[in-house]
Amino acid sequence: MSPVLFWLFTLLMLGFATSVVVNRNPVASALSLVGAFLALAALFVGLDAYFIAVIQVLVYAGAVMVLFLFIIMLLDLKAEQRRRFNIVTLLGGSIVAAGFIAELTALLSKFQLGKRGFPTLPGAKPVDDVYQVGMTLFTTHNLPLQVTGVLILVATIGVIILSRRELK
Amino acid sequence: MDFFGSIPWLLIFTSLAKTIFLVFLVVLPMVSYTVYAERRVSALIQDRLGPNRTGFPLTLLGFKKDFSPFLGGLGQPIADAVKFLLKEDLTPGHVNKPYFWLAPALAMMPAIVTLSAVPFGSELFGYKMVVADINVGLLFMFAISSVSVYGIVLAGWSSNSKYPFLGGIRSTSQMISYELCMGLSAVPVLLVTGSTGLSKIVNYQVEHGWLLAPFTDGGLQLREVLLIIPIFIAFITFTISMFAETNRLPFDLPESETELVAGYHTEYSSMKFALFFLGEYTAMIAGSALVVVLFLGGWHVPFIPDGSHGAIFGLINIATFFGKVALLLICFIWVRWTLPRFRYDQLMKLGWLYLFEIALVNIFITAGILAYTK
C-alpha cells in the first residue's frame, strides 16, 4: 500500500473517530462511526486482507450500525444535544488521556522489538484468504468455534424470552 | 523514503477506462432506458400507449426533420433528464440540511460501486473485463449494497416529517431482514463452485455448464441433475430477496404511495429526487447482474468462445452479459405491473418464517448432494 493512501485513510479514520466523541448529535456520531469503520476497512485492504475488510463493512457498517441508527432515530434523543460541556469532566478526561499517551511513548521508546520492521515474506503471493480463514476455523479451532456458536444461540434465546416476558 | 511507491500507471489507466465504459457508456444509459422500458411495458400491460412521441430534436441542430426512430418515444429519457436538471431544487425549511443533502448521494453511490466487482465480459485485447477482480467479489457486493440502506434511512430521518420517517424505518427493517435471506441463498452456489470470486464462479460455469442449466457444457452428470433442485430453490429465494432489497413492487413498502405519499423521498425535488430514482434502477441492474453471474453463466453462451480468440468474441460476450441483464430487468418490470403490494406484516412473515428457513434447509440439501455424489 502506498504510504500516501495509508496516511490518508489513517487520518480519515482518526478524524471520524474524533467526531464520534465530539459531536453532540447522536445520529452524527453514529454516522461518523460508520465512516471510521469504512476507513479501517480501507486499511485492511491495504494489507491485502480483503476478507476481513469486507466482513468489517458487511457486519459493522452494514448491519450493526444500521440497527444503532434505527434505535437512535426511534428514541429521538433531543436531551443529548442540549447538554453542555462540563469543565471538570473535560479536564479529568484530558489528563487521563495525556497520561496514557505519555506512558505509551515512554514505554515504546525503550521497547527494542517494536523498533524492528517486519521481515519481508519470502515468495509473498496473494492467498485465498476466505479459504485460509475457513480451513483454520473449521480444523484447528473447531471446538472454540462451536462453543462460540452455542454461546450466541443461548444469548439469542435469552433475548427472545426477555422480550416475550415484557409483552405479558 | 519512496513516498509514492511505484505507481502502476497501466493498471490505473485500464481500470479507469473500464470504469468509464461500464458506468457512463453502459449502466447509466441502461438505467434511463430501463425507466423508459418500464413506462412502455406498463402501458402494454395496462392496454395504454405510454410515451411514444418524443424523438430526437434534430431541428435544433439545423436539420430539416426531427428524428423519431422505429418505436417512437426513444428520446424520452433525454427529455426526462433535462427536465430533472432544470426543475427548481427545493430544500424545505424544516429539514436537517447536511443529512438531507448527503442522503441522495448515499442512495446512488453504493449501487454503482457494487458493479466494480462484476465480470461483465470475458476479455478484450487481453484485458479482463472486470474492474476489480477480487477473490471476495460476492461478499464485496453484499457489503457495499448493505451500505445503501443509509441513503434511505437518512432521507427519512433528515426530512423531519412523518411519512418519510415511516418509510425510512420500514426500509431499514426490510433491508436487514432480506439481506440475511439473500446471503444464505447464495451459499449453495458457493458450495458448488468453491469460490467467492465472481470471475471464478463464471469460469466454473463456463467449464461445467450454467448452474441453472447444466447442459450448456454439452453433457449431463447425475450430480448436475440432482443439483438443479437446490440451485433452482436458491435462484427463486435469491431473486425474491433481491426484489425486497431493491424496494421493488411486491415489496415497495418504504415508498408505498397509497399510505406514505411517496415514502422516504416525499420532501425531495428535482435532481435530488432523480438520484433516488436512478439509485433504485442502478441497484436493480447490479442485482440482475449478480443473478446472471451466480446462476445464468455470466457472459457465457454455448458455442461462442471467450475473448482470447478475438476481439469480436470479447464484444459478443459483453453484449451477451448485458442482454441477459436486460432480460431480467424486463422480468422485474413485468412482476411490478402484475402483482399487488404486500402488507407490512406479510412482508416480515415471508422473510423470516419462509424464505429464511427455505434458504437454510437448502444449504444442507446442497451440501448433502455434494457429499454423496463425489
User: Across-strand partners of B67?
Assistant: B56
pLDDT at position B152 is: 84
pLDDT at position A155 is: 94
Chain A: closest CA distance from residue B305 (Å): 28
Per-domain residue ranges of chain A: 1-111, 126-168
For chain B, helix, strand, coil in percent to 5 are 70, 0, 30
pLDDT at position B343 is: 82
Q: Would you say residue A92 has pLDDT above 80? A: yes
Which stretches of chain B drop beneath a pLDDT of 50?
A: 1
Residues of chain B with Cβ-Cβ distance to A61 below 8 Å are 143, 146-147
ipTM over 0.85: no
C-alpha distances (whole Å) from A123 to each of A1, A120, A127, B310 are: 18, 9, 11, 34
pLDDT at position A96 is: 94
pLDDT at position B273 is: 84
Q: Residue A147 — pLDDT band, cuts 50, 70, 90?
A: very high
pLDDT at position B1 is: 41
Q: Would you say residue A99 has pLDDT above 90? A: yes
Residues of chain B with Cβ-Cβ distance to A3 below 8 Å are 1, 3-5
Question: Which secondary-structure segment (H or E) carries B124?
Answer: strand B123-124
Burial B250-260 (b: 16+ CB within 10 A, else e): bbbbbbbeeeb
- pLDDT 10s digits, A13-56: 999 999 988 888 888 888 899 999 999 999 988 887 888 888 88
Q: Do A69 and B4 touch (CB under 8 A)?
A: no
User: Cell 519512496 maps to which residue?
Assistant: B2
Non-local CB neighbours of B360 within 8 Å, separated by 6+ positions? B184
DSSP string, B326-348: HHHHHHHHHHHTTSPPPPHHHHH
pLDDT at position A152 is: 94
Which residues 45-64 of A are in CB contact (within 8 Å) with B? 50-51, 54-55, 57-58, 61-63
**A/B interface, count of CB pairs below 8 Å:** 80
pTM (2 d.p.): 0.84
- Which CATH number, 1.10.10.10, 3.40.50.2300, 1.20.120.1200, 3.90.550.10, labels domain A1-111? 1.20.120.1200
Q: Which residue of A has its CA nearest to B139?
A: A54
User: Cell 461445467 maps to which residue?
Assistant: B208
Question: Three cell numbers at B123?
Answer: 476479455
pLDDT at position B203 is: 84
Quick count: other Cβ atoms within 10 Å of Cβ B226?
17
pLDDT at position A124 is: 59
Of the candidates B5, B150, B173, which has its C-beta nearest A3's C-beta? B5
The secondary structure of residue B67, as a DSSP letter, is B
pLDDT at position A100 is: 94
pLDDT at position A39 is: 92
Q: Do A62 and B153 touch (CB under 8 A)?
A: no
Chain B: closest CA distance from residue A100 (Å): 31
pLDDT at position A154 is: 95
The secondary structure of residue B132, as a DSSP letter, is -
Between CA A45 and CA A38 the distance in angstroms is 11
Between CA B247 and CA B91 the distance in angstroms is 25
Of the candidates B5, B140, B142, which has its C-beta nearest A2's C-beta? B5
